[in-house]
Structure 1
């Protein structure tokens, strides 16, 4: 799993994160991971494939059976960023 080093975090920000971590009963590092995950993948985010399928169903383009077929063969592995090296 990748790791990240963040330098020059203001004391008051670090203190606030430590307090927040204590309130949630976890380490500062675990709290920062949670904050980053929620920022990068917020709840309720609209996923493009789901949105397009919904539009197609509303337009009469897909029946429920067709949608179920697409859903069953859909690749559910998250995409990786392109590497140009």
Structure 2
């Protein structure tokens, strides 16, 4: 296992970390490992906003819509009316 040292850590931040770690029943060191793992795994999920929204609400069901066939070409919006 690798080790890192964090210098110049703000005392308020360290105090907050100690409180959060205690509330989770972990040491500060373990809490930092969990925070880092969660922060770095977020980028691995992939997909854009729509994909993330779908993933969040897919278990609720009812999202399967039949899209109508497009009969005209798409056109630019006209705001002069």
TM-score (norm 2): 0.53
- 4+ runs of 1 displaced by more than 4 Å? none
Please show how residues 62-73 of structure 1 align to structure 2 within 5 Å: none
* More helix, by proportion: 1
Please say which structure displays the higher CA radius of gyration: 2
Unaligned stretches of 5+ residues in structure 1: 48-85
User: In 2, Cα distance between the equivalents of 1:39 and 1:28?
Assistant: 16
Unaligned stretches of 5+ residues in structure 2: 48-81
Q: Hey, what does 1:61 align to over in structure 2? A: none
TM-score (norm 1): 0.51
Q: How many residues align?
A: 47
1:31 alignment partner, SS class: helix
